[in-house]
Amino acid sequence: MSQTSFDIQQAAVIGAGTMGRGIVMCLANAGVSVHWVDTNPQMLEQALATVAETYAHNVRQGRIDQAEADARLARVSAAADYAEIRNADLVIEAVYENLELKQKIFRELDGLLKPQALLASNTSALDIDAIAAATKRPEQVLGLHFFSPAHIMKLLEIVRGAQTSQAALDAALILGKRLGKVSVVSGNCHGFIGNRMLHPYVLEARKMLLEGAYPQQVDAALQGFGFAMGPFRMYDVVGIDLEWRARELAGKGQDAPEIQVDNRLCEMGRFGQKSGNGYYHYEPGSRQAEHDPEVDALVLRVSEGLGFQRREIGPEEILERCLLALVNEGAKILQEGIAESAHDIDLVYLNGYGFPADKGGPMAWADQQGLADIHQRLLALETRQGEQWKPARLIGELAAQGKGFADR
């Protein structure tokens, strides 16, 4: 096989959890055969049943006919172990978010798969180079970061490791097109483009809970701006427990003030939509987020317990802090070369994070405000709240030249 063409006919997916299920359907829907592995046979059995049920549902809805459903399902087969996937052209790993586990799997796959096979991880944030280092083919290792549910969400972040070859990247871009995704190439950093920007955005939202706001107010302000969901509704959908468990697994501290509300909710078993309660209440079988006064009382208790003097926080402040946190991190991502363009960052936020389409994405929105204005507003926040608001160097430079992110 030439270095410039990876022909992906046979894929394998490792992990039959939330993401594995969506990824398998993406592949099967696009005509790619998939072998599927999970260490837990019950999980795999359940996952196969879910995939079959999803296709049956699509037939009932009239989206596909029975023949198409049968063809899709026939492309998916359970594999008892890694030996059965040795002929795969591409493996996508979607097991728990744990670096050592992923390294172990990549090491094993590297020893088993044909030399030209591509190895991809669906990690949300982990270091792709550290995963690639477990193999002898780091040029064929990359991130394929799907969003949940993977067979529906349009975005695919393709993560380029330090040694990922152009041929491997090209193959991923071709695959992305075949799967009908909007693909964006990201450099390797914690959280890549989307989740790295999400971090300071959510941090502001969480801090405002402690300073005086309630989840519903924060979400209402951002939804009023046009976001599909505010951050707390989003956490209810994703599962509040994911980060909580990841912190626990990684032996990270659970002491930071801004995660105390999350921690209390998780200790109460309020993991979000899936458990019927999270930041909001959900009636059985419903995805309708209902205001829960118990959560407001909890927020009040936690913030007072931490010694905060609560104050009124209006929608303007919520928008200012959440949006500028996104833009400032986006600018850093751009200046570091993690994203190739401001437009790519906007594509990530429009297709993966529910940013309002009519505003064009966070970087386009910042350009509409004018970067001189954004720069001033960041400086004002820095004066009031500290150096986390120090404007990214790029914003100052572009503002001084009267340019926007799009002019770079």
Provide the binding-site residues for ligand NAD, judged by CB under 6 A: 14-20, 37-40, 43, 94-97, 105, 122-124, 147-148, 238
Where on the phi/psi map is residue 230: left (φ > 0), alpha (ψ -120 to 50), or beta?
Answer: beta
C-alpha separations of 125 from 8, 62, 210 in Å: 25, 37, 26
Cα-to-chain-centroid distance, residue 372: 30
Residue 143 three-state SS = strand
Q: Where are the alpha helices (DSSP H) in 230-292?
A: 231-238, 241-249, 260-267
State the minimum distance, in angstroms, from the CB of residue 180 to ligand NAD.
18
- The residue number with the shortest CB distance to ligand NAD is 17
Query: Cβ distance 17 to 44 under 8 Å?
Result: no
Residues 238, 226: Cα–Cα separation, whole Å: 20
State the minimum distance, in angstroms, from the CB of residue 65 to ligand NAD.
29
| 92/298 with CB nearer ligand NAD | 92
State the minimum distance, in angstroms, from the CB of residue 95 to ligand NAD.
4
| 17/257 with CB nearer ligand NAD | 17
Residues 350, 326: Cα–Cα separation, whole Å: 13
State the minimum distance, in angstroms, from the CB of residue 175 to ligand NAD.
17
Catalytic residue chosen out of the listed positions 145, 151, 281, 375? 145
Residue that has been written with the tokens 């707390």 in this structure: 232
State the minimum distance, in angstroms, from the CB of residue 267 to ligand NAD.
20
Active site residue 145: yes
Strands 155-160, 141-146: parallel, antiparallel or unpaired by DSSP?
Answer: antiparallel
Residue 210 three-state SS = helix
| 93/344 with CB nearer ligand NAD | 93
Task: Work out the widest C-alpha separation in the chain, in whole angstroms.
Answer: 66
Structure tokens given for 116: 């030209």
State the minimum distance, in angstroms, from the CB of residue 88 to ligand NAD.
14
State the minimum distance, in angstroms, from the CB of residue 53 to ligand NAD.
17
Task: For residue 149, say if its preceding peptide bond is cis, omega within 30 degrees of 0.
Answer: yes
Share of the chain residues as helix, strand and coil, in percent rounded to the nearest 5: 55, 10, 35
Residues 374, 367: Cα–Cα separation, whole Å: 9
Q: What angle do CA 190, 335, 147 make, to 5 degrees?
A: 40
| 191/330 with CB nearer ligand NAD | 191
Amino acid at 73: L
Residue 400 three-state SS = helix
| 50/369 with CB nearer ligand NAD | 50
| 18/33 with CB nearer ligand NAD | 18
Beta bridge partners of residue 34, listed in sequence order: 11, 76
| 192/389 with CB nearer ligand NAD | 192
State the minimum distance, in angstroms, from the CB of residue 385 to ligand NAD.
30
| 59/237 with CB nearer ligand NAD | 237
Q: Judging by beta carbons within 10 Å of its beta carbon (0-12, 13-18, 19+), is residue 61 exposed, middle or buried?
A: exposed
Q: Would you say the C-alpha torsion 321, 326, 327, 328 has a positive or negative sign?
A: positive
In the 8-state DSSP scheme, what is residue 106? H
Q: How close are the terminal C-alpha atoms of the chain, in Å?
A: 38
Question: Catalytic residue numbers?
Answer: 145
